[in-house]
Chain A
């Protein structure tokens, strides 16, 4: 049992970890052998040491970007899920809202961002709005798909018991749609990170996106790289958190135990 787990862990983690380590070593060696200027491609060691030097200043910037990301994500769930419910339950609202939602999705968010900042002003709020705009579409579409995917037999069954539409929604359709809601949420959380950074690119004086932008304008490529690593780590941790919440609230979705 333990041996099997160890072998599985080796296959799942050791191989990709070794590959990553190999790539980093090759990168480090290449920058030294070919004497690549550090503002074009800094060595991993340089990125790490620069990041370490910035560690205290990074705390504040990371917090700002995290705050914007979580704000945008929360907003996308709070708006996206009820919107999906309205679309599924009301054909009128569906035909009224769906084209608007698709239209909103098809406008490039990077193009909206400057205008938004003009309208909403500075600070974190406009970045939250950009993150929300980027993230809410998958939430709406996935939730709506999930609600529409209830097996027709279950709807017939509920109807044959004369259960109200609200009761059927609460006891059958919504829990049945939870895997879809979480699929949307997982996409939304990673898109929120992108949205927050895009918002910061357009105009800000704090946040990891701001650090990347100002670092590159001063040719401090290694600082830009360490911000990028922090952003990726943030996205991975947030994605993991959503997956964890899914595991805890929907334990029946976990893969069936092996026999």
Chain B
């Protein structure tokens, strides 16, 4: 579904310095595949998501989605960020409807679906509440519902659970998997957490920083549906060790 071909992205800072955000990235993501991107800060993971969404243009190589070259934003993408960035003046259900509204669709026709999504993510009964009345985890669920409502084929998630506490984080990961089992779509998921990357993914893309490159792509063949118990599985531990050594090896090279 997504194809990145030797993609480079360099940009200039205000002071005129040239920064190479990502370099020579080649990656193919299949339809309905769950791929996580893991790596330390500054490895261009967020840039990669923006390239796929068409929010920024590659300076080298080619990005295509479903065979079409990406040069500007296209419908069929849902975005979830580290911060929920809800609109504080809108109720929960109106925040969910924001996505279809911005897409130029008729929000009234999506009310039932919005309520269904809120039900699915455990927010049934919270439709008329306001964001400030919700906890961080609940706000992020609303943001996920907002992204899911137009039923995009592609979901881009930029450290969506990064601002949550560890317990809420695990809960949200499992919940995301449950939602994904029900409504399959392609997910590109950026994270700092190695266990999170393994738990969720069909494949984990390990990246190294400055400039961001793909160090290795690991296939995770753990059975689904997945649970937290998998952390004690040998295969989980092997994958985790491998990712860690890739990231730390890259760090040692720098010294």
Chain A residues at the B interface, C-beta cutoff of 8 Å: 151, 153-154, 156-163, 167-168, 171-172, 175-176, 250, 252-253, 256
Contacts and interface: CB of A to CB of B under 8 A. Distances in A.
Contacts of B73: 159-162
Interface size class of B (residues with CB under 8 A): 20 to 34
Nearest to A163: B102
Contact of B75 (A154, A161, A175, A176): A161
Contacts of A153: 79, 81, 83, 85
B85 A154 contact: yes
B101 A171 contact: yes
Contacts of A157: 79, 81, 85, 102
Contacts of A163: 102-104
Given A161-B73, A256-B133, A171 B102 contact: yes
Given A154-B85, A161-B102, 9 more contacts: A151-B85, A156-B53, A156-B79, A158-B102, A161-B75, A163-B103, A171-B101, A252-B89, A252-B132
B50 to A, nearest CB: 7
Contact of B130 (A154, A162, A252): A252
B87 interface: yes
Contact of A151 (B75, B83, B103): B83
B103 A175 contact: no
What 5 pairs across the A-B complex have the smallest Cβ distances? A161-B102, A163-B102, A153-B81, A153-B85, A252-B88
A254 to B, nearest CB: 9
Contact of A160 (B53, B85, B98): B53
19 contacts: A154-B87, A157-B79, A157-B85, A158-B102, A160-B55, A160-B77, A161-B75, A161-B99, A161-B102, A162-B74, A162-B75, A163-B103, A167-B102, A171-B101, A172-B87, A252-B89, A252-B130, A253-B88, A256-B133
